[in-house]
Amino acid sequence: MTTQEIANKWAEYCRTGRWDLAHAELYDDNCVSLEMEGAEGFPPRVEGMEAIKEKGERWNGMVAEFHGVEIEGPMVAGDHFTATMKMDITMKGRERQVDEEVAIFKVANGKIVSEQFFYPIG
């Protein structure tokens, strides 16, 4: 698949809440995931799909209710793509809010090999 095809599939899966399919079909087994420095409860870097899945399970455990997501993009440049995500969410012990972030992905050999997220901390 081309970077554009991967980006489009990633966006489709995320819009329908199917992150599991995105991980299974689009990600390289040795993918690297980067979070914002200082993100509560998450290391700034994890490597490999098992670690990425564990990170996702940890995040899911913090969620009281997921109300929806909006994906804007993707935009492709060479072997990278980006999109914005707005998640309408209620985290455990907190009020409902909309979290916004920018995600940047690198593709190599037809798979996502890295992802990095940018969002406000605090």
User: What per-residue confidence (pLDDT) applies to 90?
Assistant: 94
How many structural domains compose the chain?
Answer: 1
40: left (phi over 0), alpha (psi -120 to 50) or beta: beta
Arithmetic mean of pLDDT over the chain: 93
Average pLDDT over residues 67-78: 95
Task: Give the CATH number for residue 58.
Answer: 3.10.450.50
Domain region containing 55? 3-118
Enumerate the β-bridge partners of residue 80: 77, 106
> What pTM, to 2 d.p., does this model score?
0.91
Over the stretch 9-61, which tens digit does the pLDDT of each residue have?
Answer: 999 999 988 888 999 999 999 999 999 988 887 889 999 999 998 988 888 88
Query: What average pLDDT does this structure show over 84-104?
Result: 94
